């Protein structure tokens, strides 16, 4: 019996221990956690151990770095990157490259490194290219003139004719000579800018200083020499309505703000005589600078009949931005006036007269010298405003390829001028919706737009790291149709995302 009671009693004690075991474990766990917590909390309750407060240490991320971090950048493109398969490219482009309404798109995509054609939709067909024409002018300017060349605007003085032998001249003419810079500014030269790089106020101050040093005091008559450009100032291929709307203006070898009254207003009508307008701005600067030198300025600005004499003395000169900088501006803003001016200056650099005809011939000649096939190409102007221009998508893709990968490295200067999708130039307000946002920052292309024409030619690095060049051109389109521009942008975005296996 007792053995039975003892066993039962032992089992009871064991049962009690088992039942109390979880409570025991919880108590131990609380003690373990409480000790370090108390150590952390106690300084806040009792104060610091020492009597003197220690200064807080500055976090490492707020300290001045001991050395600069290693610069990071994008790795160079590798020719080992996979070339897209033509069928894969077609599978991406065919569904999106469709017109909204009438007309049709032609298109060419090439591998930039090898020239392999990856997509061809009537790529050899002649098309109206609109402002994609400026790509041809850009290449021709960089080859024919040179990327680092500048245009000079100078002031010369004819020998002074004394009223009587030994007497000082009471009046003297100074001649503002146009040298092809149509990006003049009215104020001081701004060397950090392209538009206004050369300033007429700076030129006026230099002129006054030269006259002062010569001892001349009296009235100064401003004449303008714009004889560098010859032939008609307007291209007969242009629609007069486009000229009236400010798309372009009569061409002269000097102008303020690319022949604009206000450089910020790119849609307003332009001055119809930019040479005289520049002369008047120069005369105003001369008047402001000449009072302290004892000079006065005749109120009227007159066009010089002929050219300055051979012994005319140079009083002052200012230099334009480089040709490469002007090319970049032309491509970014699609400026027709600047494009036509560069065309004429290409002719001048080749020893030809600066006419419409010579400009067109000079551009085509430079393309042929580069090895770009010009068969069937028609250049009615060099800005793309004329509807008589005819260039194929294949010819444009070859031009872009010459810029990105060609042997003539001078053409690389044009790369910075291509507008960047969603960020700069004429692509700054595009690639912002869901269908094209993935192309933002990746697609770089020259735009072109006329009433029934739209074009996009440029380059993109695809998802595999392969550089592709492309040209898409739409002709005969329904005016005002909203879907044509997004179609081109969506097609370029598809290339950017292309693995295209």
| Digit-coded pLDDT (tens) for 265-294 | 988 999 999 999 999 999 999 999 987 888
Task: Enter the tokens of residue 433.
Answer: 């919706």
Mean pLDDT of 206-213: 94
Q: Rounded to an integer, what distance in angstroms lies between the CA atom of residue 314 and that of residue 165?
A: 24
Neighbours of 73 (CB within 10 A): 5
What's the mean per-residue pLDDT of the chain? 87
pLDDT attached to residue 500: 84
Higher pLDDT, 367 or 33: 367
Band (pLDDT 50/70/90 cuts) for residue 499 is confident
Task: Select from 113, 138, 87, 121 the least CA-distant residue to 392.
Answer: 121
Q: How far is CA 129 from the centre of its chain?
A: 20
Mean pLDDT of 296-303: 94
In this structure, are residues 444 and 88 in contact, taking their beta carbons and an 8 Å threshold? no
Contacts for 288 with CB less than 8 Å, ≥ 6 apart: 201, 204
Q: Rounded to an integer, what distance in angstroms lies between the CA atom of residue 488 and that of residue 142?
A: 28
Widest CA span in the chain: 160
Task: Select from 342, 319, 133 the least CA-distant residue to 258.
Answer: 342
Task: Enter the tokens of residue 398.
Answer: 């070859």
- Residue-wise pLDDT tens digits, 177-199: 999 999 999 999 999 999 999 99
Q: What are phi and psi of 230, to 5 degrees?
A: -125, 170
Q: What are phi and psi of 285, to 5 degrees?
A: -65, -35
Mean pLDDT of 232-241: 97
Q: Is the pTM of this model over 0.95?
A: no
In this structure, are residues 275 and 200 in contact, taking their beta carbons and an 8 Å threshold? no
pLDDT attached to residue 29: 43
Band (pLDDT 50/70/90 cuts) for residue 22 is very low
Catalytically active residues, by annotation: 131, 134, 334
Q: What is the DSSP string of 76-127?
A: PP-TTSPPPPHHHHHHHHTTT---SSS-EEEEEEEETTT--EEEEESTTSEE
pLDDT attached to residue 79: 79
pLDDT reading at 418 higher than 50:
yes
Q: What share of the chain is helix, strand, coil (3-state, %, to 5)?
A: 40, 20, 45
pLDDT reading at 98 higher than 60:
yes
Task: Enter the tokens of residue 97.
Answer: 């490259």
Neighbours of 493 (CB within 10 A): 24
pLDDT reading at 174 higher than 80:
yes
Task: Select from 471, 467, 470, 463 the least CA-distant residue to 501.
Answer: 463
378 membership: H or E segment, kind and range: none
**Burial class of 100 by CB neighbour count within 10 A (0 to 12, 13 to 18, 19+):** middle
Q: Rounded to an integer, what distance in angstroms lies between the CA atom of residue 1 and that of residue 7?
A: 10
β-strand pairing of 453-461 with 444-450: antiparallel
Q: What is the DSSP string of 1-42?
A: -HHHHHHHHHHHHHHHHHHHHHHHHHHHHHHHHHHHHHHHHH
pLDDT attached to residue 294: 84
pLDDT reading at 39 higher than 60:
no
pLDDT reading at 385 higher than 50:
yes
pLDDT reading at 15 higher than 80:
no
Q: Rounded to an integer, what distance in angstroms lies between the CA atom of residue 154 and that of residue 151?
A: 10
Task: Select from 404, 428, 401, 427 the least CA-distant residue to 415.
Answer: 404
Of 50-54, 90-94, 193-197, 302-306, which gets the smallest average pLDDT?
50-54
- Residue-wise pLDDT tens digits, 389-410: 999 999 999 999 999 999 999 9
Distances in Å between the alpha carbon of 401 and those of 113, 127, 389, 447, 469? 8, 19, 21, 17, 6
Q: Rounded to an integer, what distance in angstroms lies between the CA atom of residue 421 and that of residue 295?
A: 53
Band (pLDDT 50/70/90 cuts) for residue 25 is very low
- Residue-wise pLDDT tens digits, 440-482: 999 999 999 999 999 999 999 999 999 999 999 999 999 999 9
pLDDT reading at 52 higher than 90:
no
pLDDT reading at 5 higher than 50:
no
Strand, helix or coil for residue 47: coil
Task: Select from 194, 154, 192 the least CA-distant residue to 176.
Answer: 154
Altogether, the residues listed in the chain come to a count of 501
In this structure, are residues 324 and 147 in contact, taking their beta carbons and an 8 Å threshold? yes
Q: How many CA atoms lie within 13 A of 130 on its CB side?
A: 22
In this structure, are residues 252 and 275 in contact, taking their beta carbons and an 8 Å threshold? yes
pLDDT reading at 140 higher than 80:
yes
Residue keyed to tokens 């090319």? 327
Band (pLDDT 50/70/90 cuts) for residue 69 is low
């Amino acid at each position: 019996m007792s053995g039975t009671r003892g066993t039962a009693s032992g089992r009871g004690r064991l049962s009690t221990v088992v039942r109390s075991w979880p409570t025991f474990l919880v108590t131990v766990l609380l003690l373990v956690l409480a000790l370090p917590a108390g150590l952390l909390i106690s300084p806040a309750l009792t104060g610091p151990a020492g009597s003197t407060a220690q200064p807080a240490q500055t976090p490492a991320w707020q300290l001045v770095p001991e050395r600069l971090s290693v610069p990071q950048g994008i790795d160079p493109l590798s020719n080992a990157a996979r070339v897209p398969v033509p069928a894969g490219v077609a599978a991406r482009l065919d569904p999106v490259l469709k017109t909204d309404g009438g007309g049709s798109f032609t298109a060419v995509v090439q591998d930039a490194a090898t020239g392999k054609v990856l997509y061809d939709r009537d790529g050899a067909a002649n098309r109206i290219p609109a402002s994609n024409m400026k790509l041809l002018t850009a290449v021709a300017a960089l080859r024919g003139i040179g990327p680092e060349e500048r245009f000079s605007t100078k002031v010369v003085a004819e020998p002074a004719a004394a009223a009587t032998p030994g007497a000082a001249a009471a009046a003297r003419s100074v001649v503002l000579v146009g040298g092809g810079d149509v990006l003049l500014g009215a104020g001081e030269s701004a060397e950090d800018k392209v538009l206004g790089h050369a300033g007429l106020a700076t030129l006026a101050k230099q002129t006054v200083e030269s006259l002062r040093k010569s001892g001349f005091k009296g009235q100064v008559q401003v004449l303008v020499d714009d004889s560098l450009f010859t032939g008609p100032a307007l291209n007969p291929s242009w629609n007069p309505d486009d000229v009236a709307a400010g798309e372009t203006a009569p061409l002269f070898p000097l102008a303020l703000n690319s022949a604009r009254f206000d450089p910020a207003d790119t849609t307003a009508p332009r001055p119809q005589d930019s040479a005289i307008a520049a002369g008047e701005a120069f005369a105003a600067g001369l008047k402001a600078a000449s009072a302290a030198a004892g000079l006065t300025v005749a109120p009227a600005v007159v066009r010089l009949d002929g050219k300055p004499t051979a012994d005319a003395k140079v009083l002052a000169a200012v230099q334009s931005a480089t040709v490469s900088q002007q090319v970049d501006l032309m491509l970014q803003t699609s400026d027709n006036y600047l494009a036509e001016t560069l065309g004429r200056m290409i002719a001048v650099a080749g020893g030809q007269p600066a006419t419409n005809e010579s400009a067109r011939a000079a551009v085509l000649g430079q393309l042929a010298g580069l090895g770009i096939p010009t068969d069937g190409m028609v250049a009615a102007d060099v800005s793309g405003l004329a509807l008589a221009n005819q260039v194929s998508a294949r010819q444009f893709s070859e031009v872009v390829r010459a810029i990105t990968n060609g042997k003539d490295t001078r053409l690389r200067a044009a790369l910075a001028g291509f507008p960047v999708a969603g960020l700069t130039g004429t692509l700054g307000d595009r690639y912002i919706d869901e269908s094209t946002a993935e192309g933002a920052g990746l697609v770089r292309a020259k735009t072109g737009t006329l009433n029934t024409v739209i074009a996009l030619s440029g380059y993109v690095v695809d998802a595999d790291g392969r550089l592709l060049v492309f040209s898409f051109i739409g002709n005969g389109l329904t005016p005002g149709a909203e879907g044509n521009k997004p179609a081109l942008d969506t097609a370029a975005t598809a290339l950017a995302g292309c693995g295209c296996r």
